[in-house]
């Protein structure tokens, strides 16, 4: 007999729990207009646009001598102080190491640089939905939440999977404790990237090297440099984000020149 037929009530409850967990840990706060409903929405948009902008200005093309890795990046922010702390990017090509994802490099690099024990209550803005490896590292380092700028239809929903309770199933498990919250960005750029990737039918990592993706990232960059805050209290946050972009570009081009 089918398992569901044996314990219909338990499995119905489990289905409800799975739906609830998904809505709790994958909150898409987007709206049709792409405008910001709250001050915090605008802060998230500023940081997400900054992440896109750094990647656009350091775009990895077809020249193998300049390729560091995939066009994927991650930004670390301390929300309590509204401080942008660090940026890092995928570097699997330059390191010849497939584990060198943006989020893992960001977390390990910051912890080592400042000799921190963990990253309690910090937020990571990731240009792409985090994979299983990076999700695990976020949990262990106590990242509060991650906000991603493009859905990964192949390797995404890792944090949501860790939050699911399958204990009612045979040989099931309780959810992993203290899972980092995962949210899709409310920025309209995320919607455009998701739509374009789906329509292209190109594998996500290859899509991020296409001219289609680059044009959308260019739009994000233009939105960022011409941004006008809706909440005056966010002006300083935006100004600091622009300064951070300038610093990151200086560091990037300086490092490239040294390699030559």
Q: What is the mean pLDDT of residues 91-102?
A: 95
Predicted structure pTM score: 0.85
Supply the angle between the helices 102-114 and 132-140 in degrees, to the nearest 10.
Answer: 30
CA distance 70 to 60: 7
91 and 70 in contact (C-beta within 8 Å)?
A: no
Helices then strands, each counted (H, E), the chain = 11, 5
- Per-residue three-class SS string for 62-97: CCCCCCCCCCCEEEEEECCCCEEEEEEECCHHHHCC
Expressed in percent and rounded to 5, the helix, strand and coil fractions of the chain are: 50, 10, 40
Quick: pLDDT tens for 157-191.
999 999 999 999 999 999 988 899 999 999 999 99
Containing 8, the helix (H) or strand (E) segment is: helix 8-25
Longest dimension (CA), the chain: 67
Give the range among 4-13, 116-125, 156-165, 239-248 with minimum mean pLDDT.
4-13
CA distance 128 to 35: 21
């Amino acid at each position: 007999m089918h398992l569901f037929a044996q314990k219909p009530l338990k499995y119905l409850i489990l289905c409800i729990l799975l739906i609830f967990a998904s809505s709790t840990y994958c909150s898409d706060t987007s709206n049709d207009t792409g405008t910001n409903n709250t001050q915090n929405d605008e802060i998230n948009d500023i940081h997400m646009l900054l992440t896109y902008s750094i990647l656009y200005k350091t775009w990895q093309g077809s020249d193998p001598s300049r390729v560091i890795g995939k066009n994927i990046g991650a930004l670390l922010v301390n929300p309590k102080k509204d401080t942008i702390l660090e940026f890092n990017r995928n570097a699997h090509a330059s390191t010849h190491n497939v584990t060198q994802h943006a989020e893992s490099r960001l977390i390990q690099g910051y912890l080592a640089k400042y000799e921190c024990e963990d990253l309690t209550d910090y937020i990571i803005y990731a240009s792409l939905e985090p994979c299983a490896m990076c999700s695990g590292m976020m949990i262990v380092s106590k990242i509060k939440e991650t906000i991603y700028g493009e859905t990964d239809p192949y390797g995404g929903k890792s944090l949501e999977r860790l939050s699911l309770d399958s204990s009612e199933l045979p040989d099931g498990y309780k959810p992993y404790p203290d899972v980092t919250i995962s949210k899709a960005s409310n920025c309209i750029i995320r919607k455009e990237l998701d739509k374009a990737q789906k329509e292209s039918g190109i594998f996500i990592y290859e899509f991020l090297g296409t001219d289609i993706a680059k044009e959308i990232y260019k739009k994000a960059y233009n939105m960022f440099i011409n941004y006008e805050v809706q909440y005056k209290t966010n002006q300083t946050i935006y100004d600091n984000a622009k300064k951070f972009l300038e610093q990151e570009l200086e560091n990037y081009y300086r490092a490239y020149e040294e390699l030559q």
